[in-house]
Amino acid sequence: MQKENVDVLIIGGGPAGGVCAVTAKMNNPEKVIMVIREHAQQLVPCSIPYVFGNTLKTVENGLGSCAQAEEMGIEARLGKVKDIDIDNKIAYYDDKAIVFDKLVFATGSVPFVHASLQHSCTLDGVFTIVKNVERIRKLKAYTEDKQNIIIVGSGFIGIEIAIEFAEAGKNVKVIGGSEYILNRAFDTEIAQEAQALMEQRGVEYVGSDRVVEIIDKNNDNIVNAVKLKSGKIIDAEVVILATGYQPNTDLADKVGLSLGHYGGIWVDDYMRTYHKDIFAVGDCTARRGFLSKAPSKVMLASTSSAEARVAGTSLYGIKYLKGMSGTISIFSTKIGDTVFASAGVTADKAELKTNKMIVIGAFWGLNRHPAKIPNAHRQYVKLIVSKHGGQILGGQVIGGDEAGEMINLIGHIIESGQSVYNIMSMQVATQPMLTSAPTSYPLIMAAIMAIKEIEG
Amino acid sequence: MQKENVDVLIIGGGPAGGVCAVTAKMNNPEKVIMVIREHAQQLVPCSIPYVFGNTLKTVENGLGSCAQAEEMGIEARLGKVKDIDIDNKIAYYDDKAIVFDKLVFATGSVPFVHASLQHSCTLDGVFTIVKNVERIRKLKAYTEDKQNIIIVGSGFIGIEIAIEFAEAGKNVKVIGGSEYILNRAFDTEIAQEAQALMEQRGVEYVGSDRVVEIIDKNNDNIVNAVKLKSGKIIDAEVVILATGYQPNTDLADKVGLSLGHYGGIWVDDYMRTYHKDIFAVGDCTARRGFLSKAPSKVMLASTSSAEARVAGTSLYGIKYLKGMSGTISIFSTKIGDTVFASAGVTADKAELKTNKMIVIGAFWGLNRHPAKIPNAHRQYVKLIVSKHGGQILGGQVIGGDEAGEMINLIGHIIESGQSVYNIMSMQVATQPMLTSAPTSYPLIMAAIMAIKEIEG
């Protein structure tokens, strides 16, 4: 068997594996860094919804590039690692053996499907959203001549796909267990707005219900309908299960790495597993929340990238002390012209977790000023704030495109442990064509409102 | 003489006075708060450039509203305070006397005109940009049937007015002392881009020169041309002097308040003057830089608003300990579809002030991802970073509209004293339609590049 020696072996070529490789090489230019990935082409994960409609139009347009890794001299191999000899530090793929010094798992995630529906996944017309070019191509091709599409799951991916299909002229229904869509990232009043906009774009939402059966009436292995818990039966030519993901840890489990909650690989703040030379990054890890430190199911390429940067600089000792102390759950999406964004905990979640030890500060404004400026969009900022100390625990924004970066400001505020007392007099740049007025910048006003609540 | 008693008297109804009044009332609902302002209608200061062209179209569209102050029960008076008896705490306006407990100067700024040109300001066709509805109306009316406009001054206001006039079909030249426009907020390579875009929109820039004479050829009190230091003579029907502002402190000086550098009212971090019951906020104060603590000429409504919030909560004792420890000089503007934004010090300035103890981290990316997403705009982030410790001292962004809020994220990073070591693995939300890719988010990449520079 062919044997090769590398310094760092990374299993997986998604955002986590790619960023980890680049970061590792940048910090250790003299080391041999190798990435083994299963697929030659890699989809940018969050672009997947947009290949189905008018936004990206083709699957090809959703592909990422490995140019940077190549330029930097990172070794790339195509193949599937089937086994690892942990004691002797050897990974096996195809008929090859790679002897490594450091190993990084970046094996990502696979769709989660409720046990009761798993057997239906073999029916024609039933799909999950696998982050795989061929599978996405197949799904897109299958839907070309179909009209009635059901999306199961009301998270970001489900909603984004639903809207793309609807805008391409298809008849789309989303089925979700919660009363309103996107309920993990948004409080009710904001989720309601998002849902209303989605419905305006022709997507119907069937909420507070769930699929108990996927029906193949004619026994011809082709899906016809779904049956809901409520008894409702809804016809469908295509059923897309967008019911979340789970860590892809078959290999990690097989070779004996400790798994944490939700089946993810256990890692510490520097993405180290219990084995001193083995790291894990991205969706395959057992994540926890930044604030609560409780297990988290959040799976985001941006979180994975942050983890990969931490791992990439910590392989040969902890170079930078800022580790990854949990995900701040930071999201944004766009429905029509309106952006919805969220960071940290929602009020609903925070109330539960802190036993109501929170206050809310919220403010409606505009994303331009003065009010007569063309193309102004309403802008809403809601802050979830600790009653005791004023630390900002979460924020939600409704606005125009700028909300996509406003949430990163709020995320930074959360990550750096700032309080409303820091924000109430923060300095911002304001400009008529670009932001709200300085006198009523909604983030600052929301902080002021929260202080008013705290002080009663 | 009619005598009236109030708790807090605020002189000036611009952004500083307005925000201070609202904040003071919010924090002291039982107190009588009065604002005396000179004009019934108030222009939103940064909207002024946009009333001259197609963006706001009319002066009326640039007006601000006092509705919030009225609703809160803040007393408003029209008039000009002519004298103050500091010892007895009485302010005089028209034939009235107001006895106050606390006094806030929010008297703003007036255009700065070089001494050699002041006598020419009485010529027909020569204007400064006074933040006054009538004066702006007069300027706009005067230009209606004129074609050749010269703007003297290459700062934000000059450039924004120039572009608006050019887009409305006029022939516009900008004359500035620096080689490139906007040179206080941007380093050369960025200023060059801004200038090229301005020129594409039909504005000509005459740089590294200055107006030494404003010419009235026919001795009919109507401007015809300007003469430059280089000897060049440029014909003009309208000459707009946008050469900065100076604190409006005639009254403060008259009543004996201590003035600081550049003639502004001396204030401490809580906006208190040397007199224990007198505060000052906004452009009339002596500002200093956040990082260097050196005197600063920055005049921005957003900075004024932050100061006003600090003063408004500190009138009856320091309620919140975050004072105003200098301006971070945070700006944004839009030229065509491209946004230019800056916070903190430029590299040029930082090199000088720190004796080259800085490094630069910069990264070019896109504001959308993947690359094939429609309407993507290039996005560039440049960070100016302390070589010793990695603290972020300044940042500049070129991008789409989102850059208007990205600079507020960078501003917050500067204001909260964060370093590139905090930013390199920060968590962000990324979304194809709204942001760059998580794997190459330009702000994070710029931080990583700066670390590379520091570590050599």
Chain B neighbors of A303, CB-CB under 8 A: 427
B369 to chain A, any CB pair closer than 8 A? The answer is yes
A63, A321, A372 ranked by CB distance to B370: nearest: A63
**Chain A interface disruption, residue of B28, B303, B412, most A CBs within 10 A:** B412
pLDDT single digits (tens) A92-136: 999 999 999 999 999 999 999 999 999 999 999 999 999 999 999
CB neighbourhood size of B283 (10 A):
31
Nearest CA in chain B to A335: B433
pLDDT category of residue B69 using cuts at 50, 70 and 90 = confident
- Taking only residues 4 to 33 of chain A, the set having a beta carbon closer than 8 angstroms to any beta carbon of chain B reads 15, 18-19, 23, 26
A78 to chain B, any CB pair closer than 8 A? The answer is no
Residue A351 has pLDDT above 90, yes or no: no
Q: How far is A312 from chain B (nearest CA, A)?
A: 11
pLDDT higher at B444 or B70: B444
Tell me whether residues B305 and A46 touch, CB distance under 8 A.
no
Nearest CA in chain B to A406: B405
Tell me whether residues A416 and B400 touch, CB distance under 8 A.
no
pLDDT single digits (tens) A232-255: 999 999 999 999 999 999 999 999
Tokens at B191, concatenated: 């200023």
B370 to chain A, any CB pair closer than 8 A? The answer is yes
Q: Between A and B, how many CB-CB pairs are < 8 A?
A: 273
A67 to chain B, any CB pair closer than 8 A? The answer is no
Chain B neighbors of A371, CB-CB under 8 A: 65
Paired sense of beta strands A392-399 and A378-386, if any:
antiparallel
Tell me whether residues A55 and B373 touch, CB distance under 8 A.
yes
B325 to chain A, any CB pair closer than 8 A? The answer is no
pLDDT category of residue A68 using cuts at 50, 70 and 90 = confident
Contact between residue A103 and residue A91 where contact means Cβ atoms under 8 Å apart = yes
Nearest CA in chain B to A309: B425
- Percent of chain B exceeding pLDDT 70 equals 100
Sheet containing strand B378-386, strands side by side: B331-335, B338-344, B392-399, B378-386, B358-366
A230 to chain B, any CB pair closer than 8 A? The answer is no
Tell me whether residues B424 and A309 touch, CB distance under 8 A.
yes
* Sign for the pseudo-dihedral over CA of A343, A346, A349, A350: positive
Predicted pLDDT of residue A137: 97
Element (H, E) at B265: none
Residues paired with residue A171 on neighbouring β-strands, in sequence order: A148
Report the pLDDT averaged over residues A213-224. 97
B332, B402, B429 ranked by CB distance to A331: nearest: B429
Tell me whether residues B425 and A322 touch, CB distance under 8 A.
yes
Tell me whether residues B56 and A372 touch, CB distance under 8 A.
yes
Which ranges constitute the DSSP H helices of A168-236? Answer: 188-200
CA–CA distances in Å: residue A332 to residues A367, A402, B300: 16, 11, 30
Report the pLDDT averaged over residues A392-405. 98
Tell me whether residues B370 and A324 touch, CB distance under 8 A.
no
Domains (range + CATH), chain A: 2-109+246-314 (3.50.50.60), 115-243 (3.50.50.60), 339-455 (3.30.390.30)
Contact between residue A440 and residue A378 where contact means Cβ atoms under 8 Å apart = no
Report the pLDDT averaged over residues B296-301. 94
Predicted pLDDT of residue A350: 87
**Angle CA(B196)–CA(B197)–CA(B198) in degrees, nearest 5?**
90
Q: How far is A317 from chain B (nearest CA, A)?
A: 16
A389 to chain B, any CB pair closer than 8 A? The answer is no
Output b/e per residue, B199-230; b: 16+ Cβ within 10 A: eeeebebbbebbbeebbbeeeeeebbbbebee
Q: How far is B363 from chain A (nearest CA, A)?
A: 14
**Chain B interface disruption, residue of A47, A310, A321, A408, most B CBs within 10 A:** A408
Residues paired with residue A399 on neighbouring β-strands, in sequence order: A339
Tell me whether residues B332 and A435 touch, CB distance under 8 A.
yes
A47, A309, A402 ranked by CB distance to B370: nearest: A47
Q: How far is B277 from chain A (nearest CA, A)?
A: 21
pLDDT category of residue B433 using cuts at 50, 70 and 90 = very high
A44 to chain B, any CB pair closer than 8 A? The answer is yes
Tell me whether residues B431 and A334 touch, CB distance under 8 A.
yes
Residue B451 has pLDDT above 80, yes or no: yes
Rg (CA), chain B: 23
Tell me whether residues A448 and B400 touch, CB distance under 8 A.
no
Which ranges constitute the DSSP H helices of B72-225? Answer: 115-118, 133-143, 156-167, 188-200
Interface ipTM: 0.96
Q: Which span out of A36-45, A63-72, A334-343 was modeled with the highest average pLDDT?
A: A334-343
Predicted pLDDT of residue A441: 97
pLDDT category of residue A10 using cuts at 50, 70 and 90 = very high
Contact between residue A205 and residue A166 where contact means Cβ atoms under 8 Å apart = no
- Percent of chain B exceeding pLDDT 90 equals 94
pLDDT single digits (tens) A266-304: 999 999 999 999 999 999 999 999 998 999 999 999 999
CA–CA distances in Å: residue A11 to residues A104, A105, B149, B377: 6, 5, 64, 33
Chain B neighbors of A438, CB-CB under 8 A: 15, 300-302, 304-305
Q: Specify the 3-state DSSP secondary structure of B304.
A: helix
B68, B301, B322 ranked by CB distance to A430: nearest: B301
- Taking only residues 243 to 302 of chain B, the set having a beta carbon closer than 8 angstroms to any beta carbon of chain A reads 290, 300-302
Predicted pLDDT of residue B67: 82
Nearest by Cα to B120 from B210, B244, B214:
B214
Residue B350 has pLDDT above 90, yes or no: no
pLDDT single digits (tens) B105-158: 999 999 999 999 999 999 999 999 999 999 999 999 999 999 999 999 999 999
Q: Specify the 3-state DSSP secondary structure of B37.
A: strand
DSSP assignment string, A398-449: EESTTHHHHHHHHHHHHHTT-BHHHHTT------TTTS--GGG-HHHHHHHH
CB under 8 Å, gap of 24 or more: what pairs does B83-87 form?
A: B83/B251, B83/B254, B83/B255, B84/B251, B84/B255, B86/B255, B86/B256, B86/B275, B86/B278
pLDDT category of residue B338 using cuts at 50, 70 and 90 = very high
**Predicted TM-score of the model (pTM):** 0.97
B435 to chain A, any CB pair closer than 8 A? The answer is yes
Q: Of all residues in chain B, what percent are helix, strand and coil, respectively (each to 5)?
A: 30, 30, 40
Tokens at B245, concatenated: 């502002």
Contact between residue A140 and residue A59 where contact means Cβ atoms under 8 Å apart = yes
Q: How far is A123 from chain B (nearest CA, A)?
A: 31
Q: How far is B158 from chain A (nearest CA, A)?
A: 14
**Conformational region of residue B450, where left means phi above 0, alpha means psi within -120 to 50, and beta covers everything else:** alpha
Nearest by Cα to B217 from B142, B123, B139, B119:
B123
Tell me the pLDDT of chain B averaged across its residues: 96
**Chain B interface disruption, residue of A302, A304, A342, A443, most B CBs within 10 A:** A302
B23, B309, B405 ranked by CB distance to A402: nearest: B405
Q: How far is A433 from chain B (nearest CA, A)?
A: 7
Tell me whether residues B343 and A407 touch, CB distance under 8 A.
no
pLDDT single digits (tens) B244-278: 999 999 999 999 999 998 999 999 999 999 999 99
Contact between residue B299 and residue B245 where contact means Cβ atoms under 8 Å apart = yes
Predicted pLDDT of residue B66: 79
A401 to chain B, any CB pair closer than 8 A? The answer is yes
A1 to chain B, any CB pair closer than 8 A? The answer is no
B453 to chain A, any CB pair closer than 8 A? The answer is no
